[in-house]
Amino acid sequence: MKKEPIRSKEKVANALGKYLPEAFVDYVVTLFQEASVRFKIVPGRATKLGDFRAGMNGEKHTITVNGDLNPYSFLITTVHEFAHLHTFNTYGNRVSPHGNEWKSAYRQLLLPLIDAPELPDDIRKALMNSLVRTKASSCTDHGLSRVLLNYDKPREGVIVLEHLPKNSTFALNGKHFVKGELRRKRYICQEVKSKRSYLVNSLAQVIPLND
């Protein structure tokens, strides 16, 4: 049987420190070392920020987090996925992925962050508002997502969709779209080539195109 490598605290801290706010590295390292889990940092994905996969047939569970997130988004996404791990370890597949059991685990893991003086006040306020009625992820909590966007590095030529005028053309995931009407927190956008309509998150980062 292949032995798992010894994960020293220093090595784990050095690896994760490139992606996390410095003040919270030790907290995440502790979560990591207390868990039996494979933790992978992966290229950015358009459909999700992180992922938890339960191990099958005795294999370790796996958590993946996008490596292109800003440090605070990376931190909160990591906590989100560890909440899935804790929930699975307690309940297995007997509960829904984002049910009350997961929400309770997520709240418990977030509280040390909220109490930490190093957490920026705007993120603390957004997290506290989020915990009043916990959403499935920071992607679906627009208040928290909007605050976290402030910590992204500026990207030349990229804009948040909600800042584009109606009927503007933009590129997203290699396709061209025309921005339409707002439906709740998503815009109805028509893909130029296929003429099909898609719902696109109002906070999606897109590339404006000349008409």
What pLDDT was estimated at residue 1?
A: 37
What size, in residues, is the chain? 211
pLDDT bin (cut points 50, 70, 90) of residue 57 is confident
Q: Coil, strand, or helix at residue 62?
A: strand
For 2, residues 6+ apart whose C-beta sits below 8 A from its C-beta are: none
For residues 208 and 168, the answer to whether their CB atoms sit within 8 Å is: yes
Cα 141 to Cα 134: distance, rounded to the nearest angstrom:
8
Cα 86 to Cα 72: distance, rounded to the nearest angstrom:
21
Residue extents of the structural domains in the chain:
9-149, 159-209
Listed range (19-23, 142-146, 149-153, 194-198) with the worst mean pLDDT: 142-146
Q: Coil, strand, or helix at residue 201?
A: strand
Listed range (54-58, 171-175, 177-181) with the worst mean pLDDT: 54-58
Q: What spatial distance separates the first Cα and last Cα of the chain, rounded to whole Å?
A: 60
CATH architecture of the domain formed by 159-209: Roll (2.30)
- Of 176, 175, 172, 178, give the one whose Cα is nearest residue 203: 172
For 2-10, what is the mean pLDDT? Answer: 57
61-66 and 37-42 beta bridge pairing? parallel
pLDDT bin (cut points 50, 70, 90) of residue 140 is low
What pLDDT was estimated at residue 5?
A: 46
- pTM reported for the whole predicted model: 0.82
Listed range (2-16, 35-49, 74-88) with the worst mean pLDDT: 2-16
Residue 175, strand partner residues: 172
For 29-55, what is the mean pLDDT? Answer: 89
For residue 14, give Cα distances in angstroms to 10, 26, 68, 86, 134. Answer: 6, 10, 17, 24, 31
pLDDT bin (cut points 50, 70, 90) of residue 136 is low
Express each pLDDT in 75-133 by its tens digit. 999 999 999 999 999 999 899 888 889 989 999 999 999 999 999 999 999 998 887 76
What pLDDT was estimated at residue 2?
A: 42
For 129, residues 6+ apart whose C-beta sits below 8 A from its C-beta are: 143, 144
User: Above 50 in pLDDT, residue 4?
Assistant: no
**Residue given tokens 């028509």 in the structure block:** 190
What pLDDT was estimated at residue 178?
A: 96
